Amino acid sequence: MEKLVHAAQEFFHIHLTGRQVMALVTYERELLDWNQKFNLTALKDTESIRIKHFLDSFSCVMAWGANPPHYLVDVGTGAGFPGLPLKILYPAMRTTLIESVGKKAMFCEHIVRMLGLENVQVIKARAEEVGQMPEHREKYDYAVARAVAGLNVLSEYLLPLVRMGGTMLAQKGESGPAEAQSAEKVMKLLGGKLQQVIQVNLPGVADDRYLVIVNKSHATPPKYPRKPGMPMKQPL
User: Which CATH number goes with the domain that contains 198?
Assistant: 3.40.50.150
> What does the pLDDT look like over 178-210, one tens digit per residue?
999 999 999 999 999 999 999 999 998 889 999
Q: How far apart are CA 190 and CA 108, in angstroms?
A: 29
Q: Indicate if the pLDDT at residue 43 is higher than 80.
A: no
Name the β-bridge partners of 71. Answer: 94
Residue-wise DSSP of the chain: -HHHHHHHHHHH-----HHHHHHHHHHHHHHHHHHTTS---S--SHHHIIIIIIIHHHTTHHHHTT---SEEEEET-TTTTTHHHHHHH-TTSEEEEE--SHHHHHHHHHHHHHHT--SEEEE-S-HHHHTT-TTTTT-EEEEEEESSS-HHHHHHHHGGGEEEEEEEEEEE-TTHHHHHHHTHHHHHHTTEEEEEEEEE--TT--S-EEEEEEEE-SPPPTT-S-STTHHHHS--
Q: How far apart are CA 148 and CA 90, in angstroms?
A: 23
pTM of the model: 0.96
Structural domain of 195: 2-233
Other beta carbons less than 10 A from residue 100's beta carbon: 17
> What does the pLDDT look like over 163-180, one tens digit per residue?
999 999 999 999 999 999
pLDDT at res. 39: 80
CB 79 within 8 A of CB 108: yes
Q: What does the mean pLDDT of the chain come to? A: 96
pLDDT at res. 144: 98
Q: Is the dihedral of CA 185, 177, 67, 138 positive or negative?
A: positive
CB 135 within 8 A of CB 98: no
Q: How many domains is the chain partitioned into structurally?
A: 1
Terminal Cα distance for the chain, rounded? 43
* Percentage of residues in the chain having pLDDT higher than 90: 91
Q: How far apart are CA 174 and CA 119, in angstroms?
A: 34
